[in-house]
A and B are shown apart, each in its own frame.
Chain A
Amino acid sequence: MKTFHIGGVHPAENKLSAGSPIREAALPKQAIFSMFQHIGAPAKPVVQKGDVVKVGSLLAEAGGFVSAPVYSSVSGKVNKIDAVMDASGTRRMAVIIDVEGDEWEESIDRSKDLVRLSDRPELDSKTIVEKIKNAGIVGLGGATFPCHVKLTPPPGNKAECVIINAVECEPYLTADHRLMLEHPEEILVGVDLIMKAVDVTKGYIGIENNKPDAIKLMAEKAKQYPNIEIVPLKVKYPQGGEKQLIDAVIGRQVPAPPAIPISVGAVVQNVGTAYAIYEAVMKNKPLIDRIITVTGKSVKNPSNLLARLGTPFQQLIDECGGLPEDTGKIIGGGPMMGKALLSLDIPMTKGSSGLLIMNQKEARRSEPQPCIRCAKCVSACPMGLEPYLLSKLSAMEEWEAAEKNDIVSCIECGSCQFTCPSNRPLLDMIRVGKTTVMGIIRSRASKS
């Protein structure tokens, strides 16, 4: 079975909601749309207080090329445009809408019948990318990189294949799993669209082996698509990391930054993004909702909710049995790379793949001990780095040595800290070093 070749760890899977079919979450009373739901320049509001909007109305236009527009997922009136606390832990600009009814823009096709690429021969690569751009699609795996930018390779780079990331290696999260079980055909059309967009003839869908039902179903449905291959992958974290996925599926390793996956000819997209692309191109539906896994050991009803963007997390957890008494941490995302949140009054965004409630016992870290130089972090690191060394150099502020030891290649997966027997906060310190060194590199580049 294929897998990536360096490092990796095996956190407990805890896929509590794997058997829970997707259900629609209720509409919120007030929806909050952050202008910062993607990597790149913030979106710029085009509405003002008092404007009436429908589901699918444009709220904010893209702030540049590497940016994405934001659409309303509800119908109602714009309450205000203000800075509110969002999932980043800081206060940032958002459009706040008081919800009234559920009226959709007429241009959106709400029918459920499948539309294949062969039904739309007029769709060419340029049109597809344009539709994706205008729909505000960003990477739904959590990175939220604007999709149309990835589908527009920089000059000198040629895409050779499309790889769909259906790995979902984060413990607890099951949104992609359920999506594959419930909408396999739409996903495959989405993959077909992506392949057309970058003009390649080979597509792969990588699925971790702990989802045998999804592998079987997707393989069955993919028979109609001779150019799309389903690739089962060994269960190992972080198999879902972009670089690790490319290494496993086509055996090529993306070199250190500033190289990006397109330099080895690969275009990687999350399976949820592929589905969103299908809806955008074939049904004229902009990105207004997504599947989010609400889960946790003490949560009464771990579920996969199809929720409208902008819904506060409080409402989502209420629909799954309410916030448990013994809550310690509220995590946006999964336990390995998610962000610990300050409260549940934070709105759901394009990148919200999960809401994980950890109880007090699980949430607390153990007391760190001195480094015993066991080198387990070195064996665990999927990028072949030496976390013990990078952490120490960051603490000692030795930025030159940190740069020489390739600290910028760190993908912040957390495997090192997960493994460390001394419970050392390795990734905490490496992050400080990585941000500082990247700043140094940027200022060096701008000076020359």
Chain B
Amino acid sequence: MNVILIAVTVLGAIGLVSALVLYFISHKFAVHEDSRIAQVAEVLPQANCGGCGYPGCSGFAAACVKAADAGSLEGKLCPVGGQPVMEQVAGILGMAAVATAPKVAVVRCNGTCENRPRNAEFDGAVSCRVKNMTGVGDTGCGYGCLGCGDCVSKCQFGAISMDAETGLPVVDEEKCTACGACAKACPRGIIEIRLKGPKGRRVVVLCNNKDKGAIANKACKASCIGCGKCVKTCEKFEAITLENNLAYIDAEKCKMCRKCEEACPKGAIHGFNFPPRKPKTEESTIQSTQTPNVEPSKAE
């Protein structure tokens, strides 16, 4: 009985002393942080994905507070939380919410197994970065998707997956937060973080090939051959530029008329999320892998 009493007393005393020491030390060495940072951090999604450009959610919270003190929240966007979260942050900091246009990841390649024949067999570590080091890879196009899924393994939100039939990655627009991880992972820079567009509609050149037209043509049925027809059709809005044998549509200037899509002889330009259009003329029957809402233009 005595033993138990001694044991309890001694341990209790040690506990009490430790608690007091910890209390005083925690107060003496306390880090004084602006309380607003913790408040902002609380409403953030806690994904710590880095999509905002800051190191984690706490880093973003600190940056927002700093920006608020400087006068404006311009340029600060949490892609995961989106506009609702930014409005909350603005509310906490007593600022006006800045409206930013939502973005999404777009895989600019339509070199499916059907469009782009494989002329070699890759046998090595299943990694796009490794496969890229072999040169142009196992097809004739040195700029197209390598198909090993580095982008898929980097996505924290399960928003991108490999389509086994086409060999290309597919982006789930509902889940995509435009954090940019997949774009960074791609060794060929095929994935672009682009404006989602009004009603989620956008027109994109689904090709990354910078080879001369003849080589691009031979390598893939759906390649951009740099012919420039699309540039001509867009003379009014000047949204399309041709550089290094590759056409590029500026999302901010694009008026969604889709004339370039009709004009492209290779079917390399695609409209996303447009309502099905009435079949007009004989066009290429190349199917886009990423537009579940668009019917392919039918050949008559």
Contacts and interface: CB of A to CB of B under 8 A. Distances in A.
A, B: real partners: yes
Interface string A357-378: 0000001110010000000000
Nearest to A425: B125
A422 B212 CA distance: 43
Contact of A431 (B120, B133, B135, B215): B133
Contacts of B123: 363-365
A340 B119 CA distance: 13
A347 B119 CA distance: 19
B130 A91 contact: no
Interface residues of B, number: 16
B136 A342 contact: yes
Contacts of B142: 90-91
Contact of A342 (B127, B133, B135, B211): B135
A55 B71 CA distance: 72
A268 B129 CA distance: 33
B135 A429 contact: no
Contacts of B134: 89, 340
Interface residues of A, number: 19
A355 to B, nearest CB: 17
A425 B136 contact: no
A401 interface: no
A428 interface: yes
A425 B129 contact: no
B124 interface: yes
Nearest to B130: A428
Contacts of A48: none
Interface in B202-220: 211-212, 215
A91 B125 contact: no
B135 A432 contact: no
Nearest to B211: A91
A88 interface: yes
Nearest to A433: B129
A365 B130 contact: no
A84 to B, nearest CB: 10
Given A425-B125, A428-B124, A429-B125, A88 B130 contact: no
Contacts of A91: 136, 142, 211, 215
A89 B136 CA distance: 6
Nearest to A89: B135
A432 B211 contact: no
Given A342-B119, A431-B130, A88 B124 contact: no
Contact of B127 (A363, A429, A435): A429
Given A91-B142, A342-B120, A365-B124, A425 B135 contact: no
A368 B123 CA distance: 11
8 contacts: A89-B134, A90-B142, A91-B211, A364-B123, A428-B130, A429-B125, A429-B130, A432-B127
Interface of B: 119-120, 123-125, 127, 129-130, 133-136, 142, 211-212, 215
Interface of A: 83, 85, 88-91, 340, 342-343, 363-365, 368, 425, 428-429, 431-432, 435
